[in-house]
Structure 1
Amino acid sequence: MKGIDHLVLCVNDLDEAAARYKAMGFTCTPRAIHPFGTMNQLVQFDGSFLEVLAVREPTEVPEHGARHFSFAAFNRDFLERGEGFSMLVLDSDDARADQQRYLQAGISRFEPFDFQRKAKLPDGEEVTVGFSLAFAAHEAMGRAGFFVCQQRAPQYFWKREYQVHANGALGLGDALMMGEHPKAYAEFFAAFTGVEPQVLADEEIGFRLSRGGVRMLSPAAWEKHFPAALAPDLAEGPCFAGFVVQVNDLGRAAEALDDGRIAYLRDGGRLIVAPDEAFNTTILFEERH
């Protein structure tokens, strides 16, 4: 069963965004440069991470092709309409096999994409990490990207030193989407995740993964589950609205947010950081049980 590998959080100013995530109590990795015009800093957990991404050099961004999905072009175009949670990424043991499965399911027409970049280890050593990606797409979800990621050098990528956070964050919970008539997208998500929905209703669908999950909610369902969280605008179709961070102690997470002067709301057993504090993305902190 696949799990969430990472979430892509697209921003205009990487320095500002990294500072904001540090203020929330997260540890951020050093800046990394992609060979296709983007750059990132990561918030790493045990087996998953947040990728805070910005465009570094627009002239280096390759355009989409008939069989080529351009990660950099997708996020560049995403930023033209605002910052936010742009892409959901699942893990993969074999990106090429996943790509074939997506082609057969009719949710992709793209070739796999391989790349390498430099990474800095906690002791300062610079190493090379590599990835193989397989993309999927749904024509009605133009502002939401989907792919799987196969790690080519995991021994250099995952580092415990980067996974210790002042706010007590342990990992990711659900990735949250909003859309009208969520049930209409169940077939796509079943093909993308490889699992059948645990929740299948007109107002909500949900897929439980080995790490985290995926939920799409209608505006009414969002209001029911997260009445204190601001819902996104659906003028351009379904979109990612936010994500859950699991922590070991909600009080510790609140202290970190207070120390960083990050505004949040208490809503029962969760803390909610609103989109205007987190680059158009709602972040929900919940205790892991």
Structure 2
Amino acid sequence: MKAQDMTDKETLIPELDHVVVMVHGDLDASVEQYAAMGFDLTPRGHHSLGSSNNLAIFQNNYLELLGFEAGKKLLRPELMETPRGLASVVWRCPDLDAVVSRLDETGLKIEDPTHFVRPVETGEGTFDAAFAVINFPKKGFAEGRSFFCHHKTPQYVWREEWQGHPNTALDVSEYVFAGGAPEETLAMFDTFFGPGVMKPVDGGMAMEAGAGQVVALTAEAGKARFGDAVSIIPEEGEARMIALSVRCKSLDAARKALTDGGVPFEDLGARLRVGEDAAFGLAIEFHE
């Protein structure tokens, strides 16, 4: 377990908690494909809200494959409307009351927190991992969502037995939006966490987010960087969530995992890129 051991009370510092990849009814196929990329995924979990998931747990954040099993009652049918691919940038929330207060203060509060649980199988038995989430409004991006996640039981998420990946993944290091106006894409987050957390970078804007950063690129910059690995980047309108970067201990190990798994990828030297066709709707870049 790491994730700052979840005791940091500097609650309004932007920190990436996890990222969500929406796979709808293809959980089994997505688990097989992400395992082929070298991720060691947790056993299937089932939320009290009706959705199911498998996770790749890292040192400070994690990746969630989110979908639905046949016959399961879904209490949040709006999630079915989310397109397949990168679907949520999720912020850490050590102090739920402080986040709710800040959302009120900035005029960004649209709802009360939602509380739910997910049974977790461990070597010591089965326990309920408990969470509370509260959404940002949809501002600056066309699809997907962004929300805060408060972990009531982090000991049932960040477990050492789930943090050893054949590709040596350590953390999600980058969450990438592209298209539209980068300043508008990140403006809501700058309002909440700042002002001033949003900084210019080549081709767009970025903000630090704990072990990673959140980046918004222009359509031109997004196409120049990702090429054919991403099929749709809007020239106008709101941005799309298109890609992740994953920091690894050994790029050679990541290369071997992809090769052994039969996953097509581009070898860019310092980075390995898996395109959206092989990653369920998003591009993933591995680097040291």
TM-score bracket, shorter-length normalisation: 0.7 to 0.9
Count residues in correspondence. 274
Please give the alpha-carbon distance, in whole angstroms, between the structure 2 residues aligned to 1:39 and 1:110. Answer: 23
Please, which of 51, 60, 81 is the counterpart of residue 47 of structure 1?
60
Provide the residue aligned with 2:10 in structure 1. Answer: none
Q: Does 1:33 align with 2:46?
A: yes
Shift of 1:129: 1.0
Q: Tell me which stretches of 4 or more aligned residues in structure 1 moved more than 4 Å.
A: 192-195
Q: Does the CA contact (< 8 Å) of 2:47 and 2:118 recur in 1?
A: yes
User: Which amino acid in structure 2 is aligned with residue 73 of structure 1?
Assistant: P
Please give the alpha-carbon distance, in whole angstroms, between the structure 2 residues aligned to 1:202 and 1:104. Answer: 32
Please give the alpha-carbon distance, in whole angstroms, between the structure 2 residues aligned to 1:166 and 1:120. Answer: 21
Shift of 1:192: 4.3
| TM value normalised by structure 1 | 0.87
Q: How does 1:1-289 map to 2 (within 5 A)?
A: 1-11=13-23, 12-56=25-69, 60-62=73-75, 72-78=76-82, 82-121=83-122, 123=123, 125-194=125-194, 196-200=196-200, 203-227=203-227, 229-234=229-234, 237-287=238-288
The sequence identity of aligned pairs, in percent, is 27
Mark the CA change 1:109 to 1:145 in structure 2 (over 3 Å): closer, same or farther: same
3-state secondary structure, aligned to 1:15: helix
Q: Does the CA contact (< 8 Å) of 2:57 and 2:157 recur in 1?
A: no
* Residues 231-289 of structure 1, C-alpha deviations (whole Å, 9 max, x = no match): 534387322101010001111101000000000001241000000000111000011xx
3-state secondary structure, aligned to 1:60: coil
| TM value normalised by structure 2 | 0.88
Please give the alpha-carbon distance, in whole angstroms, between the structure 2 residues aligned to 1:250 and 1:201. Answer: 25
* Residues 22-81 of structure 1, C-alpha deviations (whole Å, 9 max, x = no match): 11111000001111221000000112111101023687333xxxxxxxxx4342111xxx
* Residues 152-199 of structure 1, C-alpha deviations (whole Å, 9 max, x = no match): 011222111100000111111010011211122342121344563452
Provide the residue aligned with 1:66 in structure 2. Answer: none
Shift of 1:226: 3.8
Q: Does the CA contact (< 8 Å) of 2:179 and 2:237 recur in 1?
A: no
Please give the alpha-carbon distance, in whole angstroms, between the structure 1 residues aligned to 2:251 and 2:30. Answer: 23
Shift of 1:143: 0.7
More moved, 227-236 vs 93-102: 227-236
Q: Does the CA contact (< 8 Å) of 2:50 and 2:73 recur in 1?
A: yes
* Residues 198-232 of structure 1, C-alpha deviations (whole Å, 9 max, x = no match): 52379511001222110011111213444564353
